[in-house]
Structure formats: structure tokens, C-alpha cells
């Protein structure tokens, strides 16, 4: 792959670990985890890899303020604010909905404030419209804004996960393990697009399975398919893609985006109480629900070796304490 210049933010490579207790409890396939919750930037997460490339681009272009958009408890926004602080850039975050009372500023929203981000609330407006208005306000003030899309999911950001797959490939060879499938949370599409590009570039023939946390499979698949060619081109990879390259499972949307159900609560508690590893209720818990259900339904065979790619999000746990404490 093409060598991509980076503004270094992440602690890499992230650990690859066998989840031996969880494997015993589910009495199924051998389960491993890739710890991108440990990338290190303001509690870590998958966006840190993307932001290394995106912030490098922003600095190369001479930008002095970074803008992006997300939900109130956006992990991407929190990591963008942290990355901007490291790069000595200002940061503007456009968040969906209306500003909550200060007493409810917890989880990622609290960290956004501590990291120095300026926040625009979209209210009842389309957040992307508000994002453009915020960028125009920065231009009018004489600044040079750099706008990052939802989740950092453009070819530059997605390329980071092609490089991440290359990192994983090296770990697999070093450890002597081969994964029949790789399971992770998929939302804005950039992480999955990058992993698909990296998998094809490394001639991996297992399954790359994105568990959708908010979109119907067809919609998310189209987003990912559109990202694949420009992501490969960004890395000077001559690859072709088809619909079969993109596996999206949307059976675990539950109550909808950021709605915590009994399934997410069980997944969070199970991993915490077997491996001492924390999932977030919005993204990684839904992905773990999908993995566990696949094992229990026999769709994932007991003879398989499966990787769960942890994409981070731990600060959101504190914003969903009431929902997580329901039930046994």
C-alpha cells in the first residue's frame, strides 16, 4: 500500500487479545478482540486512526479550525476535539438537537467542553445545514475551516482502516491465528469501507461483517460501496469491488440509534464480567449483540475463530447510566 503521511495521535498497534473467558461462557467459537478502544486519544476509539490522516490533511492545507458533526454523545466529535487540541487548531462541533441543561452535560459532551470545543446546536435544523452555516461563519471571520464529515467517513478517513487491517494482518501472522470473520459496529461507513479495502489488499478471504447500529442494510451498503473505489485510489491500490464485498447485518438495530434495550445491557455486562472490557451502549454493545446471537443461533460455527473489533466509545456509558442499570 501507499505510505500515507500521518499526524501521529494513536497508540499503535492496538492489542490483539484472546477472550478466553468469553469463549468458555458462550461455548462456541474461539473469540478474539482488537482493542481500538485503546488508541489513547481522550479515552481512545476508532476515529483516532482516521483523525491522524484527516488532521494531517488539515495542517497541509493551512487550516486553523476544524469542524465536524454528530450526535450529542458522538465519540467522533469528542476525538475530533482532542485531535484539534493536539494540533493547536480550534474546533467547532455541530451537535444534533437542542442544548441540554448543564447538569446533563456528561459522557462525551462533558469531554467536548473540557477539550475546548465550541459547540453549535442544530436544534430542529438538519445538522449538515448547520455545519455549513458554522463553516461559513468561520470563513467570514477570516479563518480557514476544514470540514470533516460524519464519522470522518471520506476516502482520507477510510484509508486509515485499510492501514489498520494491514496492522491486523501482521499481528495475525505473528501470532499464528486466522479469523474466519471479523465483526464490528458500522454506522457512517468509513471504518467498514477501509477494512474491506485492507482485506482485499491483503488477500484476506474471510468475512468482514459490519453490524449496523442505525441504518437499514441496503442504505449503509450503498454508502460503503461508494467509498470503496476512492479509498483504494487514495492508497494507490488497483482494486475492484462488488456488492458481495460488503456484508452488513441490520438485524440488531433494536429500539433504534442510541436506544438501550435488554440485549445491549446483557452484552455490556457479559463482556465486563468475563473479560473486564467495557463496551459502549450505542455502538459496540449492538455489535456484540450481533456476534453473540450469531453464536447462539449457530450461524457462527463452533469451529470458527472470530475477531471482534472494538471501536471504542466508553465515555457514553456514563450518559446512559439509568438505562444500563435497569433489569438484573
**In degrees rounded to 5, what are phi and psi of residue 93?**
-115, 130
pTM of the model: 0.96
| Residue 1, domain member (yes or no) | no
Same domain, 99 and 232: no
pLDDT in tens, 154-192: 999 999 999 999 999 999 999 999 999 999 999 999 999
Same domain, 306 and 157: yes
pLDDT in tens, 191-241: 999 999 999 999 999 999 999 999 999 999 999 999 999 999 999 999 999
Residues pairing with 306 in the sheet: 31, 181
Residue 279 belongs to domain spanning: 16-45+153-324
Orientation of helix 75-86 relative to helix 47-60, angle to 10°: 40
Same domain, 110 and 122: yes
Question: 59-93 in b/e burial notation, b at 16+ Cβ within 10 A?
Answer: beeebbbbbbbbbbbbbbbbbbbbbbbebebbbbb
Residue with cell 485531535: 83
Same domain, 125 and 235: no
**In degrees rounded to 5, what are phi and psi of residue 19?**
-95, 80
Dihedral angle over CA of 160, 162, 167, 171, nearest 10 = 140
| Residue 9, domain member (yes or no) | no
74 assigned to active site: yes
CATH code at position 69: 3.40.50.1100
Same domain, 63 and 208: no
As for how many domains the chain has, the answer is: 2
Question: Last residue of some domain: 119, 152, 185?
Answer: 152
- The catalytic residue among 74, 186, 187, 188 is 74
| Residue 277, domain member (yes or no) | yes
d(C-alpha 85, C-alpha 115), whole Å = 7
**In degrees rounded to 5, what are phi and psi of residue 46?**
-70, -25
β pairing state of 16-18 and 30-35: antiparallel
**In degrees rounded to 5, what are phi and psi of residue 248?**
-125, 130
Tell whether the model's pLDDT for residue 305 goes beyond 80.
Answer: yes
| Residue 275, domain member (yes or no) | yes
Question: Last residue of some domain: 152, 180, 213?
Answer: 152
d(C-alpha 70, C-alpha 150), whole Å = 6
Amino acid at each position: 500500500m501507499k505510505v500515507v503521511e500521518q499526524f501521529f495521535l494513536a497508540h499503535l498497534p492496538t492489542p490483539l487479545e484472546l477472550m478466553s473467558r468469553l469463549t468458555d461462557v458462550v461455548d462456541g467459537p474461539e473469540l478474539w478482540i482488537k482493542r481500538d478502544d485503546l488508541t489513547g486519544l481522550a479515552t481512545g476509539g476508532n476515529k483516532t486512526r482516521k483523525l491522524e490522516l484527516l488532521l494531517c490533511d488539515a495542517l497541509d492545507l493551512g487550516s486553523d479550525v476544524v469542524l465536524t458533526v454528530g450526535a450529542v454523545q458522538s465519540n467522533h466529535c469528542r476525538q475530533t476535539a482532542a485531535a484539534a487540541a493536539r494540533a493547536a487548531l480550534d474546533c467547532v462541533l455541530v451537535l444534533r438537537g437542542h442544548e441540554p441543561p448543564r447538569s446533563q452535560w456528561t459522557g462525551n459532551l462533558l469531554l467536548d467542553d473540557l477539550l475546548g470545543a465550541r459547540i453549535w446546536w442544530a436544534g430542529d435544523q438538519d445538522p449538515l445545514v448547520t455545519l455549513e452555516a458554522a463553516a461559513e461563519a468561520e470563513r467570514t471571520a477570516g479563518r480557514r475551516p476544514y470540514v470533516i464529515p460524519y464519522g470522518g467517513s471520506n476516502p482520507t478517513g477510510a484509508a486509515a482502516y485499510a492501514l489498520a487491517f494491514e496492522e491486523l494482518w501482521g499481528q495475525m501472522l505473528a501470532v499464528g491465528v486466522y479469523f474466519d470473520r471479523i465483526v464490528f459496529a458500522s454506522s457512517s461507513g468509513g471504518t467498514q469501507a477501509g477494512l474491506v479495502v485492507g482485506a482485499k489488499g491483503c488477500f484476506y478471504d474471510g468475512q468482514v461483517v459490519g453490524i449496523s447500529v442505525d441504518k437499514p442494510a441496503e442504505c449503509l451498503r450503498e454508502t460503503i460501496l461508494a467509498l470503496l473505489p476512492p479509498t483504494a485510489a487514495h492508497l494507490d491500490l488497483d482494486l475492484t469491488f462488488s456488492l458481495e464485498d460488503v456484508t452488513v447485518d441490520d438485524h440488531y438495530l433494536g429500539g433504534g440509534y442510541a436506544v438501550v434495550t435488554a440485549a445491549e445491557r446483557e452484552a455490556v455486562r457479559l463482556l465486563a464480567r468475563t473479560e473486564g472490557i467495557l463496551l459502549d451502549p450505542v455502538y459496540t454493545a449492538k455489535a456484540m449483540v450481533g456476534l453473540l446471537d450469531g453464536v447462539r443461533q449457530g450461524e457462527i460455527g463452533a469451529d470458527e475463530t472470530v475477531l471482534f473489533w472494538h471501536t471504542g466509545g466508553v465515555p457514553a456509558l456514563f450518559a446512559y447510566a439509568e438505562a444500563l442499570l435497569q433489569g438484573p
